[in-house]
Structure 1
Amino acid sequence: MANYPSIDSELLRTFVAIADQGGFTRAAEMVNRTQSAVSMQMKRLEEDVMQRALFIRDGRQFSLTAEGQLLLSYARRILKLHAEVMNSMREPHMVGTVRIGTPDDYVMRFMQGILVRFAQSYPLVQVELHCEPSFQLLQRQDLDLTIVTREPGTEIGQLLRQEHLVWAQARNSNLHELETLPLAMFNSQCFCRSWASNGLDAMGRNFRIAYTSPSLSAIMAAVSAGLAITAQLQSLITPDLQVIGEAQGMPALPSASIVLLRNSNTQTHVTETLAEQIAEGFKA
């Protein structure tokens, strides 16, 4: 086997910091070293990769050479694997399966980032994600962690966040001016739909449920296409929609609570660790 020189992972960590921070000075602060020490590290790294230049310098400006770009890709992968190995060896008990239940409302907005970070830290843990409406999730007994939407005053479990419901329609749309408002809402068991209907009834505004689905993506597709108005938690409103309210003749809506439930019969260090990361992710 060929005897290739090894590369110190600390050199790769500094190299990635330089690329991410856009310069040696900010990278030095990130890795807690002096700028001269960072420069010495990069000189050593260039020597370790067979005397290949990694940077093109122009005064204080720099860019990566083709070799530098190639090394950056490998460096990110090496450091990711390094972190996985260390986490697995330090916490060998972090194995198993966690079953999470959540409405699909929160998957793209919150859960995607949470699950990516958890998988990077604990690659041996398998996560099962079950997407169903809140009223169905509350009836299940086989889930370890459950995220549901609750009316204020009926919260159970751990409060993750509380948000106002808002009305939204497609940008440049004027559906709110129609005599009969077309709505895209969840099914009839959703209390948010009841709030929206009751608010419009109280104002004497005519409306019809034009689109209904248990899937947020299906509802948002109808709204984005300019076919309907919806009422959703403010954090779920995408940039292609505009929020409308009392100025457009729409009733004010109350707040809803997002809560996390733990199954007391299945709690382990694994599930509690993920629960903590979920709580942090929903604060963002």
Structure 2
Amino acid sequence: MQHISEIDQLSGYPSIDTEVLRTFVAIADQGGFTRAGEQVNRTQSAVSMQMKRLEEDVLQRKLFERDGRQVRLTPEGQVLLGYARRILKLHSEVFNTLREPHMVGLVRIGTPDDYVMRFLPGILKQFSKAYPLIQIEMHCEASTVLMQRRDLALTVISREPGNDIGELLRTERMVWAAAPCFCVDEHDALPLAISGTDCLYTQWALAALDSVERDYRLAYHSSNGAAIQAVVSAGLAAMVSMESLVAEDLRVLGSDEGFPPLPSMNLRLLRNPLMTSPITECLAEYIVEGFKL
């Protein structure tokens, strides 16, 4: 009896170059051949020729529906897109593992949880694409707590200007924020939602209110940023936040409503000298670049 291996069975099929798959994914992501060509550094005509061969000679299936300058995937194209992303991910893993075997391991990083919502998703997505075998363990705590830890390779913290340590990532304006339905004049003592009395945000908020002799009460207290956001969005209290973190459903409160100005905040990156490695330095570079956006 003749046994036919999987490799023998597959040998009858034409192969698909990974660069062709990369171009195909770029078209799906960009919605057109021209923009995809810019992404993969090919001319529009070269991209069209690649896709024509893929459709007619290799797969013998229609992959695109054209609507003017816009390009949409056919059902067959959607199927190929899922496979293409998986193939390219595996292709990247192979090269990262064999060419850079040291880029495998675990990195512990620390950051306040509000930074996770704003900055970290894009950074970690790009890093994971480039180095899929590196595991990242994230610890979300207040800056004052994170600074005391010695088990973190990289730490993002908040610092007041002039009290500088580590590497500056960006400077943020601090603002007062509340829901549109929050009526400042209804409260004799301003209700505040805070992360904790040891938080820089809280310390600056209370000092600013004391400076203008504005009465306040610490109405809601949580170490969870999402919980603070929910309370404020419900119109139950005001909060202090970095301007770039103010949600779309909130409004910034200014001096015309009796709110004093706040200092700027420096976001800084600390590297643990006892945990320096090619992995941590590479991730640190991604963090530095990501916080610029």
TM-score range for the pair, normalised by the shorter chain length = over 0.9
Count of aligned pairs: 284
1:158-173 pair list within 5 angstroms? 158-173=167-182
Does 2:13 correspond to 1:9?
no
CA change 1:60–1:266 in 2 (3 A) is closer
Corresponding position of 1:282: 291
Indicate if the aligned counterparts of 2:161 and 2:265 stay in contact, CA closer than 8 A.
Answer: yes
Corresponding position of 1:239: 248
Distance in 2 between residues matched to 1:258 and 1:58, nearest whole Å: 46
Distance in 2 between residues matched to 1:35 and 1:283, nearest whole Å: 32
Does 2:41 correspond to 1:27?
no
Shift of 1:177: 4.8
Distance in 2 between residues matched to 1:229 and 1:206, nearest whole Å: 13
1:179-258 pair list within 5 angstroms? 179-258=188-267
Moved more, 175-184 or 239-248: 175-184
RMSD between superposed Cα atoms in Å:
1.8
Structure 1 residues not aligned, in runs of 5+: none
Shift of 1:233: 1.2
Of residues 246, 263, 282 in structure 2, which corresponds to 1:273?
282
1:125-144 pair list within 5 angstroms? 125-144=134-153
CA change 1:210–1:24 in 2 (3 A) is same
Report Cα offsets for 1:54-75 as digits up to 9, x if no partner: 1234665543222112212222
Distance in 2 between residues matched to 1:255 and 1:58, nearest whole Å: 49
Distance in 2 between residues matched to 1:76 and 1:145, nearest whole Å: 30
Indicate if the aligned counterparts of 1:88 and 1:123 stay in contact, CA closer than 8 A.
Answer: no
2:99 maps to amino acid = R
Indicate if the aligned counterparts of 1:175 and 1:228 stay in contact, CA closer than 8 A.
Answer: no
Indicate if the aligned counterparts of 2:184 and 2:257 stay in contact, CA closer than 8 A.
Answer: no
Corresponding position of 1:121: 130
Distance in 1 between residues matched to 2:104 and 2:198, nearest whole Å: 37
Tell me the TM-score normalized by structure 2: 0.90
Moved more, 144-153 or 10-19: 10-19
CA change 1:151–1:63 in 2 (3 A) is closer
2:261 maps to amino acid = A
Report Cα offsets for 1:71-111 as digits up to 9, x if no partner: 12222222222222222222111122211111112111111
Shift of 1:19: 2.3
Structure 2 residues not aligned, in runs of 5+: 1-5
Indicate if the aligned counterparts of 2:182 and 2:237 stay in contact, CA closer than 8 A.
Answer: no
Of residues 255, 258, 273 in structure 2, which corresponds to 1:264?
273
Tell me the TM-score normalized by structure 1: 0.93
2:207 maps to amino acid = N
Q: Percent identity?
A: 61
CA change 1:44–1:266 in 2 (3 A) is same
1:40-51 pair list within 5 angstroms? 40-51=49-60
Report Cα offsets for 1:212-246 as digits up to 9, x if no partner: 11221111111011110001111221111111111
Shift of 1:250: 0.6
Distance in 1 between residues matched to 2:256 and 2:57, nearest whole Å: 65
1:211 maps to amino acid = Y
SS of match in other structure, 1:56: strand
